[in-house]
Each structure stands twice: as structure tokens, then as C-alpha cells.
Structure 1
């Protein structure tokens, strides 16, 4: 029987969820204390494969690359783990993926340790090894091919940072959850059998079937590679079992060897086997490609039968199951990713956005919460980590008991769980052609974006970023970028020549539609380069119906394929439009010339500061349930929502249902990076400072409490913004001290979701004083966690600018 080390009665009275077992506590300390190094091993092994097999069809080349890495990479088993599998030579080390990008890696080799946040370390030997392989990758990476594919008229928007897509051409796709339910219940052998049957029925005189042949052969290679990868760990565990002097550890290692000689190739038959199978596949997906937001899907649903079976047979107890789940959480944090500094500004805190979804409904509309759902909450609270993300699917039938337990996790200060609303998301999917039973099985993918696990293509969100406030400044300057002086859009009329607010909104409509069109061109260029050169074979094999169609995901193999870009600075745009309309055109307190001068000089002189204060204090602000400003942002968002729906993605008509685009506000930490390139805005914001994040109000502008914020956000067209409506809220820990206050939060959440039809919300439960103390004394707060955007991060690892942005968020009360 698998049971955890005994928890004392004293521990359980101190902590609602209990504490980590001593074994997991030691593992947690070792992972958190690990310094994140840049690891060149995968880069070296990948280069070897590409040099040796350049002549192979690209599917075969990618499969052999993964095979070579899994066969030759360093592996280890920590002293205090029950689940095994590593991404790099040490925990928290970040592999380099040279096929995606090497230019920035070489350029930043000597600055990784000097970053203001997201610091990485690197040895001189590693620098030499990376410089040695760099010439092979010159003009031979995704970044090189992606950038070259941008049409010149569109490339300028990327170069100037108005449309951001850096992550799309410097890394793989990610933003997906594969079919883990089939992985644990049928094993990879089931996929292997499907591929062999398909291969046997091919007619290679048919060109299209010949293309399928290479995909199928590649699929067999990667399945065999994972099978052998698992056996490597089994052999290592057996060897360590022979050498240990601890009888307890010997039994644990022998069990690990037994399990890995079976899964993930064979079906799992126990809770332990299922978790190990999920972890090894999850890990391998992120060795294959460094696309982030690779998520676990509805973990409580596909693990529940294993837990219930083992519980009945006495093979496990609740504490033992919790220990395995906390082990999974800890292993999830070991995965790391080093990004270019430009990309890092969009993803502060080194997030991987690995999401676990629990709760929700069954296809017949019944509450899907089960005992495993509660165990996952307990494990997340005990592990106390920024990864994995945890999302709870809310619906009106969710019990107060479960909601109250979720609030207990929120009180831990993890920024989790986030809540997504079934009442909005499921109907939105069904309207777009998703089958009912699939719509009811959706999960969060990364931040707040949602998709159907195992049936959805890449990047349900995150294709590109459009900077709304910068587009507004561009329009106000007659289509010329105020900084570079380059014309980007037609002259729809300069702001200083306008005599009515309607003229500005007419120009906004035309300009935003053109900007949307340009974003589509850039996104398609990225997708073209990825499809032609960097297919992810394992991920495709584990996504329906790539095997049935003989296509990778990028070729149209997924059952569903909808994508979205992200729109940044929504609150800034709302407040800017309100200030212009009220102060310039209605009350005439400012002339167009006065305002434009104040913006271009960043409110530098005495009159400029007076104007800034007027913009801040004398105009309505989004987040206060004021129709004046809320209706303006709804109107301003509409051209994008309407326009983006016109454009198909590159998989349209090639198999998937959909092939279309929609809006999304999950802008991660892009509000900080995009703020750097944005001049002063008409809401009174200074140049180069962060924009508002997600669809949240600007800091300190939401003065009428959380209900008013909910009402403002709910006026957005949430049914159309299927890519996610990200709302962050911040409260002091003092607020949730009493049971009464906790139930008030539950009631507030129910109101937001049931009556106002909100899409999403998440909470930072941390005081301003604590955050400031952590800035000044980081050593005292090494595991202080904050919600950055749609993800959590260790506060002390963030840049000061991102820390300041979080500190300045409005602290709400109940």
C-alpha cells in the first residue's frame, strides 16, 4: 500500500491542508534553491542530428532529433522523489533549442546574469560550446526563416513593436493539452498500433499518402524513443536500488523501475502509474519543442478512476495520493525556459504556463467535482509553487463546500486557483461548431485561454500582440509613428485637425481594421515557417485526429483549430478615449493641440503636469461601472472583433472544424514590455511606463470596489472574446481572515459568473507592505508568490519594474 509519511496532528491544526511530507519538503527545498543555468546539452545533441540527417524528410528529421536527444541526454533520479524524469542536466536548468533561434542566444551569452529579472547563469564552457555550434544555425533557424517570410509592408509593424510576435519565431508553439486520458488508459502502444495499421493501408503512388508515410514513420520513431527513454530511467532506478543502504529507498527505487518498464508504453493500472505516465509524456513534449503553455488538461477527471480503484483495494490512501500529486507539482517546476530578453519582457517570471484544470461539468451537465479534485487542491496548497497553474471551471452547480475549499487555496497567496466560467465558455464553443460533449470537456491551456484537450490545434491564443494605445497614438499623428517618423497607416486625419470625437472614432475603426489585417499576415508567416520546417511529431501523434488524417497539427491534423491574438492596453484605451471625448470635445477644457503637445513632451512642463492631472482626475475611468467609459471600450473593441473573424488561419479547409480567429485579452506581462515602446497616452500615463494588464482596470483607477470592476468587465463582449478575458484582482490577506469574509468572496464570485456572465477572475492575496519588504529583503521572501497576469511567479525573481507594477495594483476589499 502506498501511503505518505505520517502527518502529525499539530501540523494539520496549523495548516488547513496539512504540510508536505518530509521527503517532498526536502525535494521542494532542493528545487527552489537550484540556480537556473543555461544548459547547452540539448543544443549540442540537436545539432548532431541535423548535421547527420539533413537529407531526411522534415518529419523524419524531427523524429530522429527527439530520438537522439532522449537516447543521449543526461538523466538522473533525485534522492527525494517518487516520480522521475528530467528536462536538463540539473533541475531548473534551461535547455537551448537552436533550431528555433540562436542569434539572441549568442548575443546575450554575457548578459544572462546581468538581467534586471529572470536571471540565468552560464559557465564559460557552456558559452564556448554554444558558440561552436552557432555557425551551423546561421540562416537556418525558425527566427531566420520566420522573419524573412514577413512581407516588407508588414515587417515594419513587427520591427517597431506595434505588433509583437517575437515568441512565435523564437520558439515552438505549445498552448496545447494532448489526450492524456488515452495515454493513461491505452498507453502509447495503442497509438503505435493505429499508426502501423494506417501505414499498412497506404498507397504510395498517391502523393498525399506518400506525405502521410513520412509522418507515420516519424510517429513510430518517437513512440519507440519514449519507450526507450522510460527504460533508461528504469535501469537507472534498478542500479540505484542495488547501491542504496536504505531499505525504504531501495523499495521506492524498485517500484520506480517496475513502473517505468511499463508506462507510458503500456496502459496504467494504478494511480501511481498514471501520474508517472502523464509526467514522462508531459516532460517529453517540452523536450521536443520549447513552446510553452503545454498543459495537463482535466487532471481530476482522468486520474479519478485510478484513485477510486486504488482506494477501494487499499493500494493507496488520501495522504499517499496527495504526496504523488505534490511530487508531480514539484517536478513541473523543474522545467525551465530561457527566452530572449525581448521575449522575457512579455513573460516575466520565467513562466511555462503549465495548467491543471479541475471542476466543471460532465457532458450531461452534472457537477464533475470528485475526490481527486479535492486532492489536487490540497496538493497545490502544500507544494506552494507558482507552477503548475491551477484553474477551476466554475458553473452554477458548483457546491459551496468546493468553492470554500478553493478560497482556502486562494488564501495561501498563490494567485491560484483562477476561475473560468462554464456558463460563458461552453456556449461560446458550441456556437463555433464544437460538439457538445467536447465543449463540456474543455480545459484551460496556459493562462486563461481554453481548448478541448487532445482535439485542438496549437495556440488557441498568443499568436501576436497588438498594442491598442500605440495604435491610438499612431492615428492621432495621421498614420505616422511619432517616434520613428515612418508612415504606417493612411492619413485618416490628424488629431490636431479634428473637430469632433466621431472623427477620431472613424479613424480608429479604419486603422484598427488595417492593423488587424497586418497582424494576420505576420501570424500566417510564422505559421508557414513552423509548418514547413518544425513539425512536432509526438504532440501531433497525441492529438486527434492527426493519425487518422496522416497530418501534423500545423498541416490540419487537429479536430478543432481556432486561434487568437492578444490585445494589450485595453484599460488605457478606454480611459484615453473617455478623457479625449469629455475634456477635449465636450467640455473643451483642452484643445487638440494642447493635448497632443502634452503627450509628445511626456507632460514635461508645468502646463503638461496640469494637463496630466486633469486627464487622471476629471474624466471617467474604466472599472467603476460607468457606462460613459465602459461603452467606449466596447465600441472601440468591436472593429477588431468584427475584423479578425473575417480571416482564416493556415489550416482552414484542410480538415479541422473552424480554422478561424477570435479575440483574446490574456496579454501575460506584455503590458510592461509594450509600455516601454509607448509614448505618453491621453489617460495621463507617462511614456515608457507599463500599460494596464489583461482586461483589468488601470492601477488605482478602479475606486468603487470589486463589484464595480466586475460590472465594467462584464460589459465587454465576452461571448466573442473566446481567447480569454483576463481579470486580476488584489486583496490584503487580512480580508479573508474570517469564515464570513470567505463566504462573501464565494458570493461575489457567484454574482460575477451567474448574473454578470464574467469569463475569468483570479486573486493576488498579498499585502502591499509584504511586497515592498520583499523588494528590500529578497532573501527573506524567496518563495513569495504573486499573480503576474494569467500565471504566478516568485516575486523576488521579477524585475523591479514588474514588481512595481504589481505593487501599484488596486487593493480591493469585500
Structure 2
């Protein structure tokens, strides 16, 4: 959909975007070689120093490139949209998938035979030394059994490095690396040798100084390359651009930025250094409009920059975000389909002292998202009671472009939720979103979001089979389905199963947490996170001011609809016996029966469960209550636990795109869902069940206790483009958002695309390269998504006002 409020891209940015869209992602081995060489050279040193020296060596030696026409420079790979390998976290899965990774249905990567040979040589050193292997070694048999039964997975940090944070970009921009160095040296000079932890602290601070040297060298390498290219450049305009970049990279991030352009380039160098240190994703820019605005304001007031050039710089940076990529094992890819990097950038909301935060850079960020039209950064907008109509309408205009941006977040709920968890009010007001939907206090939080995917629907299935999974007793014995006398007894059994499997999930998370502490401390990231420098500890050791773990529950609507269907049809109206329900579930509603009579009988039961019981998403109090109850049972159990870093486990309710894959691991459920089909997306109603319009659906979702799910909730709605046409369409959308937030909803996001367009894109992908859709807590090119994920998006209810 076109919108006159968003301009066409300049030829420069259009060319840079085309390079991203036409790229064929490949796997590059340079980082793997360098980190392996470094670790071979430092086996006699403490791990924190080994990690620091490895990063320094990477920053000194990894190939660098400046692409044609770029105004913001720096890349992790020689080839666009490609990926480096991080063997210190895990690598055996990649060996197992060498021959298939280029043939995947989504997120495929080319890999040459030479690269395979190089990586195999590197991997031989890491055998027995990876984070993944150590974490696996800590797991107890019962925990492994629970994971193997698909009740939860901790694959994100089990295989990969850490991410999901917003570091203190503002400190680097205003103080430079030199300012950070002075802060560390002051701590070293005043440290007491009487402190039993003195040597540990000293080695940590020493490690930070090593990484600072690496970061400065890295920027200077780009300065030298820009100068070299300028000397060869025939075009005088491009030569001047390269000479300017050479000067900027000789200065930042070593020294404080003084101009908007310097601040932009300094930011991007820091983003790359963090990404090269660890292959964690969701390394999020956070409140970009807040820390960039002072530089723009000063330059604009002094006549040093035009609005047009500032917009061009931001547009160029928006393209650069899409140059970063990450390879994942195939199973994890099913949860993160679409080359997702989840670099969440949020605008608007309130200042730390409670004033409206929207500014000129806020609107330029909105414009950049609407003009560039690429999946990264994952763009978000904070909404509060003091938001202006100008801001609300411009974000609404962006929504109806159909990119899935922005995701909207409710300040009134999120700030209160964070404060209830011990976050200071000023820090809570300064929250940003990382990854999909996860709120955190900026530059102070090591939140371990996506710590685990907990399959609520699978635990419900196990509950209805008396603690058995696939015939094996995997959970506690809580009663045979046929013996329950009322829905309260079933819910009580579900609660006991949840308690058991949440405990196992926590044990698994703590095993992975411990492995990262032992083998993968991150000194550079820690230097940009309060209070690590002050206390002399990495984030893995609990150095961050706020420390939490955020496992997420998936299948909220399935649980609520199942409870309601059993209560309504079995216990209240007695239309169905528990014996027949049990048999219907065991046979996948007759699909596994041989005779036609049984097939028809159990399919009839499925249709009864769907059509004769109220469904979550239609503003019906009773079923909404049971959905809330099912979610709360999980959340209240999670919040009982403390993690290894001295913080609390804080629950979340969102799936990334894993509702499709997790559904494949669950048998038939009493909401009428066939086995192996997707489970519900986030806190959204089940596909096609919200039939009374967007306002009724939003009212149901708002009845959940969003405040308790401090690590985030995710709510998707889908509209046809026709529904949002004209001023009235914008008015309806803004009214829906503000009404949902007034009822204490936490988050809402929209796909604005019709079913026919999506079906055509499946048939003719080459004609729809620019089609960006909202998957879950992120957007992606529709044509590169796994087909099952595509089908899930197509099947979502298409709302009309």
C-alpha cells in the first residue's frame, strides 16, 4: 500500500537495499579461524582474559569491507547478509547440517567445500570445550527426560551466545572508549588488595581494557580502508564521502562524538563489536531517538546538518541493520524463521522524569521504517496517555503500509510491571524492548529473555494423560481423565504438572547459565552494562544492576479454550463423556481409526468442541477467565524461582514463530485442534476463533494479567488494507490501540495484508520480494519464511471494523 506521508528512497539507499534483497547468504569462516587460533595461544590464562584477547584478535584481523555508496560503514562479513561462525558456543549441529543448510525451506546459507574443510579443522580444537557441551553435562536425567518430552526447550542459549540486551550506547557516544577506559582505570587504582576477590576483579578490568584496544583498532582499520579507497576513487563526490568517513572513524568511537554523523557511525561500530563478541541475537538499539536527538538538535541549530541529509543517514543505517545475519540449527530456525536478528529499536513514550519523549529523530525513525521497508530494525513505538495525536497518527500511517511495524507498547502497564519487580521508577520509565516484546531497563539489565520456550499445550496434553507422554510416565501422577468430577479437578491436575515441568525448566536454564559463566563471559558487553565496571564482574557473574531470566509460555488460548470446552460440554451440558473425549483425543479425532463409523463419531466430537463451546477472543467473560487462569498458573509458578545471577525468573507469554513448531510436538487437544497443527500465537486467540471483530478480540486479550508477565506478552491482529483506508481507517486503528491499552493490554501489533496477496506470494515469490509481514515479535520477508509459518499467517483471522 502506498502512503503519501512516506517518500521514495534516494537512488543511493535504493541501491543499498537492492544489494540486501538480492544477496545470497553464505557462511564465512574467518572469525572461527581467528578465535580458535587465539584460544590455542592463551590456554594458560583466565577465561575472561582469553575471551578479551580473542575479541581483540578478531577485531584486528577479520576481513573488513566498505560497500559501494555506503554512508555508514562496517560489516561482519565480506558478502552481504552473510554469517560468521562462533564455534566456542556450539558447532556439532553445523557439521551435521553441512549438506542440508543450503537446501533449507527457510534461512538457508550457501557453504563452500573449502569453508567446510576450514571449519572442520577449527571444530576439532573445540571438542569438549564448548558452552553447549558443558551445559549438557550439568543436566540431570529427569530434566533431560522433560526436554525430550517436548515440554520445553532451552535451545536459544544452549547453542548460542547471549543477546537480548540494550547496552549503554549513550555513554560511548558522549564519553568515547577513552572515557570508559578512564572509568576502568579509576576502579583499578582504588581497588583494595584486602578484598578476597581482588585478583578476579583485576583480571576482569584488564580484560575490558584489552577489548577497548580492539574496538579502537577496528575503527581505525575502517578509517584506513576509507582513506585507501578515497585515493583510488574517480568520482569527486564519492571521494569526499570516503575522506569524511576516514576522518570520522579515526575519531569515533575512541573519542566522544561531536556531530550527528559521528554519533551514527560510532553507534554502528559498537553494534558490530558486540555482534562479533557473541552470536547472541536481539542486540537492540533501544531508545535510539533519545540518545541521538541531542546530536541532531545541536547540528541543526548550528546549521551543520539538513533534515534531508540526517534522514539519508538514518535510512542508510536502516539498511545496514539488515546486513547482519546469524546461522542457527535447523530446529531453532523453525522458531526464528526469516533470518531474524531482532534488533529492536523503540521510539516515543516518556522521559525518565515522565514527560513526552517524542522528538524530531522520533519522526525520522518512523519515516525511515516506512521508506526503507526492510525487516530490520524491528521497529517499536511506546504509547502513553501524554502521546500527541501527531505521533499516534504517524505511527498509524506506518502500520497501514503493511510491514508489521510498529509494534505498540503500553507505558502504563509496562512501567508499573517493572516497578513491581523492583525496578526504580526512573529506570522503568526509560525502558526499551529487546528481541520480540521484552521490556527492560536500558543499559542496566541482563534479562536472559527467550531463556526457554515452555509448551503449555503439551503440558495440558500430559495432564490429560495422567502425567504420561507417549506412554511414558514423565510427570507426576495426577489422575486419569475419566475420573475427574469437575473442571476444577482438571485445572488442579494441570497446576501440579505445570509446577513439575517449570521446576525442570528452571534447572535446565540454570545449567545453561552456569555454562556461560564458566566458558563464555563477555567483557566488552559487560563494560557497557551498569554496574559491571563498578563491581568488577561480568554480566555472567551477576554484574548487571538488574538480573533476570525470562522463559516464555506458548499456547495460552489452547489451554483456555480446552478448559472451557470440557466444562461446557462435559460437566455443564453433559453433551460429551470424558471417556469419549479421551478416545477422540487418542485417535486424533478419528484420523487414526480404521472404521468409518469411528472416524465420523470422533470428527463430530471435534466439531462439537469447536462450535458448541465459547471461544477466547470474543469478549466472553467465562472463557476469558479460564484462559487467564491457565496463563496465570504458569506465570505464578515461574516467578517463584531465582536464577544463578541472583535475579528472579520473570515470565513471558509469546512464541517468536515457534507456535508452529511447538504445535507439531503436541497431540490433539480439547479445543478441537488436530495433533501436530500449530498452537495459538502469543496471547492471541486461536486462528479463526475470534469471530466478533477486533474490539471484542482485544477486550478478551486485555482480560489476561499482563502485569504479571513482566518479560512480555505478544498480541497479533490482522486487517485487510481496505479496513484502514482514509482518515477514518486511521481513527479506528488509533481508537482500538488506545482502548486496548486503557483496559491494561501490554502490547499489540498488526499485519495489514489480504489473504489473496499472501497466496499469490507463495505461488510467485519472485514478484513479492518487498512483501514484509509480521510473523510474531518481528517482521520478515514473507517469501523466505518456512511454508508452515506462511500458512499460519495466512490462516489468522482477517479483521474488519
Residue number in structure 1 paired with 2:784:
797
Q: Counterparts of 2:362 and 2:288 in 1: how far apart (Å)? A: 8
Map residues 708-727 of structure 1 onto 2, 5 A cutoff: 708-727=696-715
- Aligned pairs, how many? 792
Q: CA deviation at 1:466?
A: 1.1
Q: TM-score, normalised by structure 1?
A: 0.96
Q: 2:672 aligns with which of 667, 681, 684?
A: 684
Q: TM-score, normalised by structure 2?
A: 0.97
Q: Counterparts of 1:68 and 1:412 in 2: how far apart (Å)? A: 44
Residue number in structure 2 paired with 1:228:
217
Write the deviation string for residues 524-554 of structure 1: whole angstroms up to 9, x where unpaired. 1110001111011111000011000000011
Q: Counterparts of 1:151 and 1:362 in 2: how far apart (Å)? A: 46
Q: CA deviation at 1:133?
A: 2.0
Q: 1:785 aligns with which of 763, 768, 772?
A: 772
Secondary structure, counterpart of 2:450 in structure 1: coil
Conserved 8 A contact 1:149-1:525:
yes
Q: 2:608 aligns with which of 585, 597, 614?
A: 614
Q: Counterparts of 2:58 and 2:601 in 1: how far apart (Å)? A: 63
Q: Counterparts of 1:428 and 1:675 in 2: how far apart (Å)? A: 30
Residue number in structure 2 paired with 1:516:
502
Write the deviation string for residues 673-708 of structure 1: whole angstroms up to 9, x where unpaired. 111111111111111111111111111100011111
In the alignment, does 2:429 pair up with 1:440? yes
Conserved 8 A contact 2:289-2:365:
yes
Write the deviation string for residues 101-143 of structure 1: whole angstroms up to 9, x where unpaired. 1110000000012212222111111111122222222222111
Secondary structure, counterpart of 2:212 in structure 1: helix
Q: 1:451 aligns with which of 420, 426, 440?
A: 440
Residue number in structure 1 paired with 2:595:
none
Q: Counterparts of 2:507 and 2:587 in 1: how far apart (Å)? A: 34
Q: CA deviation at 1:496?
A: 2.2
Write the deviation string for residues 372-412 of structure 1: whole angstroms up to 9, x where unpaired. 10111111111101110111110011111111100111122
Conserved 8 A contact 2:150-2:458:
no
Write the deviation string for residues 556-594 of structure 1: whole angstroms up to 9, x where unpaired. 111111322100111111111111111122222221121
Map residues 55-134 of structure 1 onto 2, 5 A cutoff: 55-134=44-123
Conserved 8 A contact 2:635-2:652:
no
Residue number in structure 1 paired with 2:522:
536
Residue number in structure 2 paired with 1:751:
739
* Gaps in structure 2 of 5+ consecutive residues: 592-598
Stretch of structure 1 that moved more, 109-118 or 250-259? 109-118
In the alignment, does 2:793 pair up with 1:806? yes
Secondary structure, counterpart of 1:47 in structure 2: helix
Q: CA deviation at 1:203?
A: 3.8
Write the deviation string for residues 463-514 of structure 1: whole angstroms up to 9, x where unpaired. 1111111101111111111x2x221112110112223222211111111111
Structure 1 pair 204/89, CA: closer, same or farther in 2 (3 Å)? Answer: farther
Residue number in structure 1 paired with 2:392:
403
Q: Counterparts of 1:60 and 1:197 in 2: how far apart (Å)? A: 19
Write the deviation string for residues 416-470 of structure 1: whole angstroms up to 9, x where unpaired. 00111100011111222211211111111111111011111142x2111111111
Map residues 146-545 of structure 1 onto 2, 5 A cutoff: 146-204=135-193, 206-459=195-448, 461-481=449-469, 483=470, 485-545=471-531
Q: Counterparts of 1:341 and 1:684 in 2: how far apart (Å)? A: 29
Map residues 620-659 of structure 1 onto 2, 5 A cutoff: 620-652=614-646, 659=647
Conserved 8 A contact 1:119-1:797:
no
Secondary structure, counterpart of 2:355 in structure 1: coil
Conserved 8 A contact 1:400-1:746:
no
In the alignment, does 2:720 pair up with 1:732? yes
Conserved 8 A contact 1:174-1:458:
no
Write the deviation string for residues 17-40 of structure 1: whole angstroms up to 9, x where unpaired. 212111111111011111011112
Q: Counterparts of 1:711 and 1:108 in 2: how far apart (Å)? A: 45
Residue number in structure 1 paired with 2:556:
570
Residue number in structure 2 paired with 1:10:
none
Q: CA deviation at 1:617?
A: 0.8
Write the deviation string for residues 622-641 of structure 1: whole angstroms up to 9, x where unpaired. 11111121111222223222
Residue number in structure 2 paired with 1:5:
none
Q: Counterparts of 1:778 and 1:140 in 2: how far apart (Å)? A: 42
Q: CA deviation at 1:370?
A: 0.6
In the alignment, does 2:596 pair up with 1:602? no
Q: Counterparts of 2:740 and 2:508 in 1: how far apart (Å)? A: 36
Residue number in structure 1 paired with 2:129:
140
Conserved 8 A contact 1:583-1:590:
yes
Q: Counterparts of 1:638 and 1:422 in 2: how far apart (Å)? A: 21
Conserved 8 A contact 1:458-1:553:
no
Conserved 8 A contact 1:346-1:673:
yes
Q: Counterparts of 2:727 and 2:620 in 1: how far apart (Å)? A: 32
Q: Counterparts of 2:193 and 2:762 in 1: how far apart (Å)? A: 63
Conserved 8 A contact 1:551-1:557:
yes
Stretch of structure 1 that moved more, 311-320 or 264-273? 311-320
Q: Counterparts of 2:534 and 2:353 in 1: how far apart (Å)? A: 28
Secondary structure, counterpart of 1:334 in structure 2: coil
Secondary structure, counterpart of 2:430 in structure 1: coil
Conserved 8 A contact 2:553-2:634:
no
Q: Counterparts of 1:246 and 1:780 in 2: how far apart (Å)? A: 34
Conserved 8 A contact 2:440-2:447:
no
Conserved 8 A contact 2:77-2:84:
yes
